[in-house]
Chain A
């Protein structure tokens, strides 16, 4: 694996990267158009068929786990403590009251994270980095900048791999990475210093390698991979346009509000439940390794 891209034979994979960039932009704009949690939820659920289409459901859910941490924290802490709240909705532990306005604020924020996160994950997982660079160049982005973009995508897994080796190498020098939290903060230096050095060395090498292969030569550059806008892309783009217009109409002319306190409470519980499952799964994994399953 040399990037976050996961190869599959799917409709979403076949889309031109430019279409998918537009798609991410469209989702970001739509998400910021609505200040109604229900609409954010609709966006989120509406994107799920795309995940299904790209055949990456498992990987998608795995990457969302991490975002759930933020969502739970935002929903819970803002729901209780955000000062904009006035109308109490329900109470836990006797003193902590979730308020309607704060819950609306919190759920818009956290669902927005999920919505934009989903769009980004779909984009990154279904777009080959080289295709992205080519697509950018077709938009007249200079080659070197497109390449910078591309290499950033590709260097992340390399750094992750090196980080693992450095971690092992430092443990071999008796660094206790499983010590208490204060110790661990101190241990960031021995873990990051070699990593930085190695990354710089690698990038430096990369620049030499590129020059050896005539990277800075002027003129038109061709590519092995080709991206083409097909009828599928046009369909997709026009669909997005229609949706965007509808959204604009809905949010400015109609001022719709589908949110009820029931919806808020149930989504809060749903978030808690999902987070709980994630935690249980995580703990189970740790424990099973410890027991030696």
Chain B
């Protein structure tokens, strides 16, 4: 099957002459969760901004659902690829949450029935029934971020790009993001994450694309990537703490990957005996 997003040999040079990404090839298919990782300035955001045409490739080609992004308007592409900005203040501005939700569909000029349907789905997904008449600016920052996401999801795009969804969020907010990402996935959306939150990636154990110095240097599952110490060192990334712990505890099963606390706890529960032996060796030597 044709991948939904296809990036072929894309480079992007900003007007000031800075090459932000160079010769990137990437295919994203239906139902995938893809996390784009990399240090600041490695070209993550530039890459994902190509998905809804906010940036057009300097060379190469990006197709989204068989449309060449260079030839389509951003407004049209945005109905396929929803982009949630890092700062919700850039996106939300209306006095009530309800208006925010309807806003995207109004821009799309789709029928009223369809609008109602989409907005209703977003309300259910985000459990916003009680907040519909609230002013987004009166809500706390994690809730406001959620409103930002909901306003994009109300358009019901095929792909949703989340730019740093957990930055500045408390524990509850981060957990909520994880929940939401899983929910988007279940509803058949393709999710693209740009993030520094390794724990989130660990929990998701999704596909990971690593950018380094404007080039794509890795594209694999999170557990595989996080085991590759050399790669992580080049990209200046730190795996989730659990993973690092697992890497240091040499007696753990090498073929397994321990991306979450649960997985490592499970190992300990199953291998109490082995653990005791380890302790004996430790004290004996």
Contacts and interface: CB of A to CB of B under 8 A. Distances in A.
B93 A173 contact: no
B25 interface: no
B104 A173 contact: yes
Interface residues of A, number: 23
A183 to B, nearest CB: 10
B107 A173 contact: yes
Q: Which one of A190, A193, A194 has the greatest number of beta carbons of chain B within 10 Å?
A: A194
Interface in B32-58: 49, 52, 54, 56
Interface string B68-99: 00100111101100111101011111000000
Contact of A165 (B78, B85, B93, B108): B85
Contacts of B78: 171-174
State the main secondary structure of chain A at its contact with B: helix
A81 to B, nearest CB: 39
Q: Which one of A162, A176, A197, A201 has the greatest number of beta carbons of chain B within 10 Å?
A: A176
Nearest to B83: A172
Contact of A194 (B49, B73, B79, B93): B93
Interface string B111-139: 00000000000000000000000000100
Q: Which one of B87, B151, B152 has the greatest number of beta carbons of chain A within 10 Å?
A: B87
B92 A174 contact: no
A95 interface: no
Contact of A173 (B73, B76, B137, B151): B151
Interface residues of B, number: 29
A192 B242 CA distance: 45
Contacts of A170: 91
A173 B91 contact: yes
Contacts of B49: 168
Contacts of A198: 89-90
A194 to B, nearest CB: 4
B152 A173 contact: yes
Contacts of B73: 176, 178
29 contacts: A165-B87, A166-B90, A168-B85, A169-B85, A169-B90, A171-B75, A171-B78, A172-B54, A172-B84, A172-B85, A173-B91, A173-B103, A173-B104, A173-B107, A173-B151, A173-B155, A174-B78, A174-B108, A174-B155, A176-B73, A177-B74, A179-B75, A190-B93, A190-B103, A194-B91, A194-B93, A197-B137, A198-B90, A201-B89
Interface of A: 162, 165-166, 168-179, 190, 193-194, 197-198, 201, 289, 292
